[in-house]
Amino acid sequence: MTGEFERAVELAPVLADTAASVVRRYFRQPVDVLDKADASPVTIADREAEAAMRRLINAAFPQHGIFGEEYGVERAEADFVWVLDPIDGTKSFISGVPLFGTLIALLERGQPVLGVIDQPISGERWLGIAGRQSSFNGAPIRTRAGTALEAATVFATSPDMFAGEDAAGFARIRAGAKLVRYGADCYAYGLCASGFIDAVIEAKLKPYDFCAMIPIIEGAGGIVTGWRGERPGLGSDGRIVACGNAALHAQILARLDAA
């Protein structure tokens, strides 16, 4: 890896710490909740946390691009692009539920090469770097290998994210899996990387919802693709399958695609 990339790796935890200091200040405090154009909620915590991370990136790497949930895209044509979600799981945040996180990804020529999931209340942090083993709070982690669908624990943020044929596909997964749970947002991907659950299946995601997950889960031995097995990127359709092992991933894709 280049010196520029290594310096970016060093910046990632600083970004997470900075966002965490903002988010903790507002958690379980009375804050105004606004509805964005797509009816999703946003708070001052989301916006302040992203603005703080953007300032640090622009100071350290003025040539890098940034794609954030709250403040959009700048320098999208850059070789390195940071993808930021200051609070993934704002509905949990405004409900006082600590199942949300700050997501930080770095893409090199469109490919996710660094990912962070940071839970600022519990102090839990997952880190993935392309070509290296992923870690949780500094300790190496591995996904759970060898689990078939009938023994698998599968997560999704909400059943409401599936409609039409997607709903039918997920129903086939639900019928075959041992346990299906909802509501953990990005936290579920961290648990998958750590080997506590087996798969996360979602739809209607944006790049800032999933780019950070890819290096983390892959670096722990898992696999992340779209519903057709394609590698996710900025142009993805928002349907994501993250699995702890390749055999389970193949089973899930077959059921999602079954006519």
In this prediction, residue 259 has a pLDDT band, given cuts at 50, 70 and 90, of low
Average pLDDT over residues 69-94: 93
Average pLDDT over residues 125-151: 96
**174-223 pLDDT, tens per residue?**
999 999 999 999 999 999 999 999 999 999 999 999 999 999 999 999 99
* Domain coordinates in residue numbering, the chain: 3-140, 149-256
What is the predicted pLDDT for the residue at 199?
A: 98
Average pLDDT over residues 142-154: 95
Q: Which phi and psi (to 5°) does residue 202 adopt?
A: -145, 165
160-163 long-range Cβ contacts below 8 angstroms, 24+ apart:
161/202, 161/203, 161/204, 162/203, 163/203
Query: What does each C-alpha distance from 127 to 115, 135, 217 come to in angstroms?
Result: 6, 5, 9
What is the distance of C-alpha 228 from the center of its chain? 19
Query: CA 151, CA 146: separation in Å to the nearest integer?
Result: 10
3-state secondary structure of 60: helix
Mean pLDDT rounded to a whole number for the chain? 94
Can you give the pTM of this predicted structure?
Answer: 0.94
CATH number, domain 149-256? 3.40.190.80
What is the sign of the dihedral through the CA atoms of 98, 196, 131 and 256? negative
CATH number, domain 3-140? 3.30.540.10
Helix ranges (H only) for 27-155 are 44-60, 90-94
